[in-house]
Amino acid sequence: MRADRLIAALLLLQVRGRVTAAELAEELEVSVATARRDLDALSAAGVPVYSQPGRGGGWSLIGGARTDLSGLTAPEARALFLLLGPATATTPELRTAVRKLLRALPEGFRDEAGAAADTVLVDPTRWGTPRSVRPVLVTMLQAAVVDRRKVRLTYAGRGRERTDRLVDPWGLVDKNGVWYLMAGTDRGRRTFRVDRILDAVTTEVPAERPHDLALSAIWDQVVDEVERRRSLVSTAAIVDVELLPALRGQFGLHCAVGDRVDDRRVRVRLAAPTAEMIAIELAGWGARVQVTESAAVRAELARIGAELTETCRPVRPRPPSG
C-alpha cells in the first residue's frame, strides 16, 4: 500500500541520511521505478527531500534530520499528513504508524498536522458508478478544513438549481471516487457532492467546528439516511449467477443474495426508492431475471416492455408507387 511505503521511505531517510532509489526499492520490495515515484510523491507533498545525481548521490532530507521529524517545517508536516491521512482508513497498522509520526513532530506542529490527517474519510462502498478523476476542488477544500476558514460555495442541487452558500467545512469523504463535503450551515449539518460545486472561494472568516466532531460518526448518520431512502421498495427475483457482480454494482448494499435455485440460478432481494427504479435497472437483463415478488415491479417491467415493443416495431417498407 502506497501510504505505508511513503512512511517507511521517510523513516529510512531519517535513519540513513541518504538512500538511492535502488536501495529503497530493495528495502520496500518494490521496483526501482515505484521507489522513484514514492520519493517524487514525498517531494511533491512538500517533504524536504532532494536528489543528488552522480557517484555517491541519492536522496536525502534537507538539513540531515535523521532521528525524528524535527526537520520538517509546519507547512511540510501539514503537506505530509494531508497525503497520508486518507489512507489511514485502510489498516489499523497504518493508523498506528501515523500516530507515531505525529508524536515525533515538534509540539507546535502537531495540532495542524493532526487536523490535516483527519480531513478525509474513506468509504469504499459505492453508490452507483464510481469516479476515477479526483475533483480539482478537493485540495482547496482540504486546506479550508485544516485552516478552519469558511467557504463560499456556488452549488447545483439535484434539480440543477444554483444556490450560494456560506459554509463551515468540517471534512471530506471519498466514497469510492465520489467526493462529499461535510459542512455546517445556518440550517445545520449539510452534505455537498463536490462534483456539484460549481465554484468555491475560501474566505478569511474563521469557521465554526464542533469541539467533539467525529467525522466518521456523522458520515454513518448520512449513510443511514440515504440507505433508508434507497430501500423504500423491495422485490425478490431469481437471476443467473453470472449477473451477481453487475447487480451488486447497480444496487450496492441493497442486493442481498439468497439460496441457490440450481447450478445456474440464485435468489436475490433487491431494493430501491421506487418500483420504477428497480424495473429500469432490471429491464436490460431480459429473461435472465425473473421477478417473483412485487406486483408493482412486475407492472413496471411490463410497461417498459410494451413501450419498447411499440417504439422498436419494425418499419414496413412502402410499396412502390405507380
Q: What is the pLDDT of residues 252-286, one digit of tens each?
A: 778 899 999 999 999 999 988 889 989 999 998 99
Q: Which of 42-46, 68-72, 78-82 has the highest mean pLDDT?
A: 42-46
Q: What is the pLDDT of residue 280?
A: 92
Task: Provide mean pLDDT across the span 201-223.
Answer: 86
Amino acid found at 302: A
CB 49 within 8 A of CB 61: yes
Q: What is the pLDDT of residue 221?
A: 85
Task: Provide mean pLDDT across the span 24-47.
Answer: 81
Of the given ranges (1-15, 35-49, 151-165, 225-239), which has the lowest mean pLDDT?
1-15
Task: Provide mean pLDDT across the span 275-298.
Answer: 91
Task: Provide mean pLDDT across the span 141-147.
Answer: 84
Residues 6 or more apart whose CB falls under 8 angstroms from that of 6 comprise 38, 41, 42, 83, 84
Identify which of 119, 157, 115 has the alpha carbon closest to the alpha carbon of residue 141: 119
Residues 6 or more apart whose CB falls under 8 angstroms from that of 126 comprise 175, 176, 177, 178, 249, 252
Q: What is the pLDDT of residue 117?
A: 56
Q: What is the pLDDT of residue 124?
A: 66
Q: What is the pLDDT of residue 105?
A: 55
Q: pLDDT-based confidence at 68, cuts 50/70/90?
A: very low
The answer to whether residue 100 scores a pLDDT higher than 90 is: no
- In terms of pLDDT, which residue wins out, 144 or 118? 144
pTM (predicted TM-score): 0.51
Distance CA 26, CA 24 (A): 5
Q: pLDDT-based confidence at 199, cuts 50/70/90?
A: very high
Distance CA 232, CA 251 (A): 13
Identify which of 57, 59, 64 has the alpha carbon closest to the alpha carbon of residue 14: 64
Residues 6 or more apart whose CB falls under 8 angstroms from that of 252 comprise 125, 126, 127, 128, 230
Domains delineated in the chain? 2-115 (1.10.10), 123-214 (2.30.30.100), 231-311 (3.30.70)
Distance CA 263, CA 279 (A): 25
Task: Provide mean pLDDT across the span 147-176.
Answer: 87
